C-alpha cells in the first residue's frame, strides 16, 4: 500500500508517517524541506509550499489512501486543502482522512467548514477528524515560557479544554487509513478530561519538580507576544480568536472517539508530561 501524508514532518503528520511505516505501508509525504528529511527506502519526500495550493504533478500516482491537513501558519485552510481533496477524488483513493479542528466556526463559509463540505461532496470514502487542542503545544508554542520562566501566559481565563495528545490523533488517522473503506464520518477527538490551564500548570509542576504557574493575560498582550516570536499578523489574529472559544467554554467537550477507533483510552496529560519531560525542561 502507498499512502500520501500531507505535512509529513509536522507534529501529527510525522507521527502518521511513523505509524504507517511501522505497519508496513509505503509513504509519500510532503514537506517544506525534503533535503532535511531522513532517507528511508519506504518514505518518499515531496516538496510543497504552504503558500502554493497547487498539487505537484504525480503526487497521487499509485496512492491508495491519503491523510490531508493544512500546514501550520495557513490562515485560508480551504484554499490550501481544496486542490488536495480534488486530487484525491480524481485518484479515487480508497480512504481519505482530513484533519480540520475542534469547533470550527459555525459559519458555513469558514475555511475549515468549506474544506469539510468539499470532502463530503466527493464520492471517495473518508473521515473528518476534528482534534481538540494539542498537549504538545506546551513544549512547542508555549514552550519557551515554560522552560525559561516557569510560566504559562495565555488569554484562556478559566476555560477548560479537552486537550489531546497528538500521538492519539495520529493513531486514529493511521488506523482509519489502513482499514477497509467505511461510511464517511466526522469524529471529534479529545483527551480523557477537560482541564484548565491552572490545572495544567500543577501537572507540569509535579512532573518537572519545579514551580510552573499560569497567568491569564489580555488578548492584546498575547498578540504582541506572538508577533515578537515571529508569527505573521493574520495567523496571530486567528490564534487570538481561538481563545475566545476557550473562554466561552466551547472547547471543554470530551469524547470517546479515540477509544472507539483504536480500542484503547486516550493518553492523559500526565502521560504527555512524562513522555516529553526532556522537551519541557
Examine the pLDDT at 222 and tell me if it is beyond 90. Answer: yes
pLDDT in tens, 200-219: 999 999 999 999 999 999 99
Summarize pLDDT for 110-131 with one digit per residue, the tens: 899 999 999 999 989 999 999 9
pLDDT above 70 coverage of the chain, percent: 99
Which 8-state DSSP code applies to residue 149? I
Q: What is the tens place of the pLDDT at every residue in 133-145?
A: 999 999 999 999 9
14-23 confidence digits (pLDDT tens): 999 999 999 9
In the structure, what pLDDT confidence band is assigned to residue 244 with cuts at 50, 70 and 90?
Answer: very high
For residues 67 and 4, give the distance between their C-alpha atoms in angstroms, rounded to a whole number. 6
pLDDT tier for residue 153 given thresholds of 50, 70 and 90? very high
What does the alpha-carbon distance between residue 178 and residue 63 come to, in Å, rounded to a whole number? 13
What confidence score (pLDDT) does residue 78 get? 93
| pLDDT number for residue 194 | 98
Alpha-carbon distances, residue 51 vs 40, 77, 133 (angstroms): 27, 11, 24
pLDDT digits (tens, 9 = 90+) for 22-75: 999 999 999 988 877 777 779 999 999 877 778 999 999 999 999 999 988 888
Three-state secondary structure call for residue 128: strand
Q: What is the mean pLDDT of the chain?
A: 94
Residue in 69, 66, 72, 101 with CA at minimum distance from that of residue 87: 66
Q: What is the mean pLDDT of residues 79-90?
A: 96
Which pLDDT band holds residue 184 (cuts at 50, 70, 90)?
confident
- Of the chain, the percentage scoring pLDDT greater than 90 comes to 86
Q: For 89-106, what is the mean pLDDT?
A: 89
pLDDT score for 104: 61
- Evaluate if pTM is beyond 0.85: yes
**How many whole angstroms separate alpha carbon 119 and alpha carbon 166?**
23
Q: What is the reported pLDDT for 105?
A: 64
Looking at domain 2-132+164-189+253-264, its CATH class is alpha beta
For residue 66, give the DSSP letter: E
- 258 vs 187: CA distance, rounded Å: 9
Residue ranges per domain, the chain? 2-132+164-189+253-264
Report the pLDDT value the prediction gives residue 49, as an integer from 0 to 100: 82
The predicted model gives 146-159 an average pLDDT of: 97
Cα torsion angle, 209, 211, 216, 220, sign:
negative
Sign of CA dihedral 269, 270, 271, 277: positive
Whether residue 97 has pLDDT greater than 90:
yes
Q: How high is the pLDDT of residue 175?
A: 97
pLDDT score for 109: 83
Q: What are phi and psi of 107, to 5 degrees?
A: -70, 125
For residue 183, name the pLDDT band (cuts at 50, 70, 90).
Answer: confident
Amino acid at each position: 500500500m502507498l499512502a500520501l501524508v500531507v505535512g509529513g514532518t509536522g507534529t501529527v503528520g510525522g507521527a502518521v508517517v511513523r505509524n504507517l511505516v511501522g505497519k508496513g505501508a509505503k509513504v509519500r509525504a510532503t514537506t517544506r524541506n525534503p533535503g532535511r528529511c531522513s532517507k528511508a527506502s519506504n518514505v518518499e519526500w515531496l516538496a510543497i509550499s504552504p503558500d502554493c495550493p497547487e498539487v505537484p504533478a504525480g503526487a497521487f500516482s499509485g496512492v491508495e489512501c491519503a491523510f490531508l491537513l493544512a500546514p501550520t501558519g495557513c490562515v485560508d485552510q480551504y484554499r490550501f486543502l481544496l486542490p488536495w481533496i480534488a486530487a484525491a477524488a480524481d485518484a479515487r483513493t480508497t480512504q481519505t482522512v482530513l484533519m480540520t479542528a475542534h469547533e470550527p466556526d459555525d459559519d458555513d463559509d469558514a475555511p475549515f467548514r468549506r474544506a469539510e463540505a468539499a470532502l463530503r461532496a466527493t464520492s471517495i470514502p473518508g473521515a473528518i477528524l476534528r482534534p481538540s487542542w494539542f498537549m504538545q503545544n506546551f513544549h512547542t508554542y508555549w514552550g519557551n515560557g515554560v522552560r525559561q520562566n516557569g510560566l504559562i501566559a495565555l488569554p484562556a481565563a478559566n476555560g477548560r479544554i479537552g486537550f489531546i495528545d497528538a500521538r492519539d490523533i495520529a493513531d486514529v488517522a493511521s488506523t482509519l487509513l489502513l482499514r477497509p473503506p467505511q461510511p464517511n464520518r466526522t469524529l471529534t477527538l479529545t483527551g480523557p478530561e477537560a482541564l484548565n490551564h491552572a490545572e495544567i500548570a500543577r501537572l507540569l509542576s509535579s512532573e518537572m519538580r519545579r514551580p510552573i504557574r499560569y497567568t491569564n493575560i489580555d488578548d492584546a498582550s498575547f498578540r504582541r507576544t506572538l508577533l515578537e516570536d515571529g508569527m505573521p499578523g493574520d495567523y496571530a489574529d486567528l490564534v487570538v480568536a481561538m481563545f475566545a472559544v476557550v473562554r466561552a467554554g466551547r472547547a471543554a467537550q470530551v469524547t470517546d472517539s479515540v477509544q472507539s477507533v483504536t480500542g484503547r483510552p486516550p493518553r492523559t496529560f500526565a502521560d504527555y508530561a512524562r513522555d516529553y519531560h526532556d522537551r519541557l525542561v
